Chains A and B, each alone.
Chain A
């Protein structure tokens, strides 16, 4: 796109790059907002179906416009800032959550070559950005100057920091296998895994346990059920967002779902072939890669909803135990295992 603005429109290279990047950001962010609205609707419909209810069915055909009606409602409401709150940080917190949920999409490859920033440290960028997500929650809890949000912020911080460690090790085993931090490179490395004509690291018996652990960790990282202790309504009212109203609440809400979609996209990209078709068979490549990616994202989103609708909430000590005593040692061991196997396969034993 930079070339288009440079030659066709006739801008200087710098400004062509700048305009192309802005356009690219809008092309990703605006549909993402629409997707978030629709995914909230889908989420509610899926829970409703699993609970034998109807779910949203009033606004628009099949209730399709429910999320937009909700959005309009919060947009028109008054923003209430508690008088004891720390005003600046109180307003900054939802902005951080929302921004962090959006910036990671810059490195997600939607198709061969279709990625906003094709950087060679893509996976590190994702780790860096996802480690920022915790700030929105900590700050909202602290700035609200209220008990339940503060408890929730402490829980959230401990939870996200704990699971990030395991996620880091899981990602390292993927990086070891594919030999690159670039997400497009990781997708391409999954082509015909183990020569079985299936495009997914997930079918590799060494990486499959990592895929499962990554899925569970991504539930914990996005604070979805069964790890939604930060907004456990029976203990903490609404958790860190208790004091928020109107658009500041909506930004948390959008950010949360944008994060969920992002984690689904990462599950699809890192372990299940990203924009490659599931089977390495030429006619399937006729379907655009973005459709395969979206299908995989939706599949993982369905799993997220399914878990939320069926699994009871963890106790806090169980959550910490799972993170530190099970996931961390297993993923650490797996890094050794994977690197050992790779040494054996690619370098061989030397006497």
Chain B
């Protein structure tokens, strides 16, 4: 009963906020709707018992990715009229993409209806009593260890690549030397003087 109510609540909000994401005029509002959609998707995952994935969705997408989106979007100065003009120009491309995605979903569902693919080496289903952090950990660090490490390496290369591409050595700047600042003591920087009355301080 409660599960059913929760499911329909989450599902309706996901679909609704997804629609609002693409239809709302203000890009910051769009990001907020997107975050709401992520949240409710996480709720759906909790309902099917994938609590680890749900938490990861919130931590990674809501906590990091959407913050960056929001950061970028907040800084943008968006002209709605200009965007309208863009819609007409890219309409054909957008339509083609939408048709392709819809066709893929339909093909996928059709293939699923026809029965599963025969794969020679399948992972045995994991006992439902095992918490899914443990189950995922077991699989990632044993069976899929090399794939997992490969994915990590790809991400590392991407990160270093982004830094290399955007980092430029600037000349003519005087950056702060933090260790020198930290090493500086009051007696090096200040002088205690007791000027006689009426004479002032010698600078």
Least CB distance from A172 to B in Å reads 12
Query: CB-nearest residue of chain B relative to A161?
Result: B67
Binary interface encoding of chain A residues 99-132 relative to chain B, with 1 for a CB under 8 A from any of its CBs, else 0:
0000000000000000000011100110111011
- A307 neighbours in B (Cβ, 8 Å): none
User: Does A157 sit at the interface, judged by CB under 8 A?
Assistant: yes
User: Does B133 sit at the interface, judged by CB under 8 A?
Assistant: yes
- B35 neighbours in A (Cβ, 8 Å): 135
Contact of A142 among B28, B59, B133 (CB under 8 A): B28
- A124 neighbours in B (Cβ, 8 Å): 52, 55-56, 59
Q: Tell me, in angstroms, the Cα distance from A76 to B62 when the chains sit together.
A: 35
User: Does A164 sit at the interface, judged by CB under 8 A?
Assistant: yes
Helix, strand, loop or mixed for chain B's interface?
Answer: helix
Q: Tell me, in angstroms, the Cα distance from A18 to B6 when the chains sit together.
A: 12
Contact of A14 among B2, B32, B51 (CB under 8 A): B2
Least CB distance from A350 to B in Å reads 16
Q: Are A318 and B133 in contact (CB under 8 A)?
A: no
- B29 neighbours in A (Cβ, 8 Å): 88-89
| Beta-carbon contacts under 8 Å, B36-68 to A | 51-52, 55-56, 58-59, 62-64, 67
User: Does B146 sit at the interface, judged by CB under 8 A?
Assistant: no
Q: Are B63 and A128 in contact (CB under 8 A)?
A: yes
Q: Tell me, in angstroms, the Cα distance from A174 to B74 when the chains sit together.
A: 36
User: Does B131 sit at the interface, judged by CB under 8 A?
Assistant: yes
- A321 neighbours in B (Cβ, 8 Å): 178
Q: Tell me, in angstroms, the Cα distance from A14 to B2 when the chains sit together.
A: 6
Q: Tell me, in angstroms, the Cα distance from A142 to B73 when the chains sit together.
A: 11
Least CB distance from A318 to B in Å reads 7
Q: Tell me, in angstroms, the Cα distance from A135 to B63 when the chains sit together.
A: 9
Contact of B51 among A17, A120, A129, A164 (CB under 8 A): A120
Least CB distance from B26 to A in Å reads 8
Of the four ranges (under 10, 10 to 19, 20 to 34, 35 or more), the interface on chain A belongs to 20 to 34
Q: Are B131 and A120 in contact (CB under 8 A)?
A: yes
Q: Are A134 and B74 in contact (CB under 8 A)?
A: no
Query: CB-nearest residue of chain A relative to B73?
Result: A142
User: Does B1 sit at the interface, judged by CB under 8 A?
Assistant: yes
- A120 neighbours in B (Cβ, 8 Å): 51, 131, 133
Query: CB-nearest residue of chain A relative to B32?
Result: A89
Given A14-B2, A161-B67, does the pair A121, B59 have CB atoms closer than 8 Å? no
Q: Are B62 and A132 in contact (CB under 8 A)?
A: yes
Q: Are A138 and B70 in contact (CB under 8 A)?
A: yes
Most-contacted residue by chain A among B28, B62, B67, B133 (CB, 10 A): B67
- B28 neighbours in A (Cβ, 8 Å): 86, 89, 142
Most-contacted residue by chain B among A92, A154, A181, A321 (CB, 10 A): A181
Q: Are A128 and B74 in contact (CB under 8 A)?
A: no
The 4 A-B pairs of least Cβ separation, nearest first, read A131-B63, A128-B58, A124-B55, A14-B1
**22 A-B pairs, CB-CB below 8 angstroms?**
A14-B1, A14-B2, A17-B2, A18-B2, A86-B26, A89-B28, A89-B29, A119-B51, A120-B131, A120-B133, A121-B55, A124-B52, A124-B59, A125-B55, A129-B58, A131-B64, A131-B67, A134-B63, A154-B71, A157-B67, A181-B133, A321-B178
Interface residues of A (CB under 8 A from B): 12, 14, 17-18, 86, 88-89, 92, 119-121, 124-125, 127-129, 131-132, 134-135, 138-139, 142, 154, 157, 161, 164, 181, 317-318, 321
Given contacts A92-B32, A129-B58, A142-B28, 16 further A-B contacts (CB under 8 A): A17-B2, A88-B29, A89-B28, A119-B51, A120-B133, A121-B51, A121-B133, A125-B55, A127-B55, A128-B62, A131-B59, A131-B62, A132-B62, A132-B63, A161-B64, A317-B178
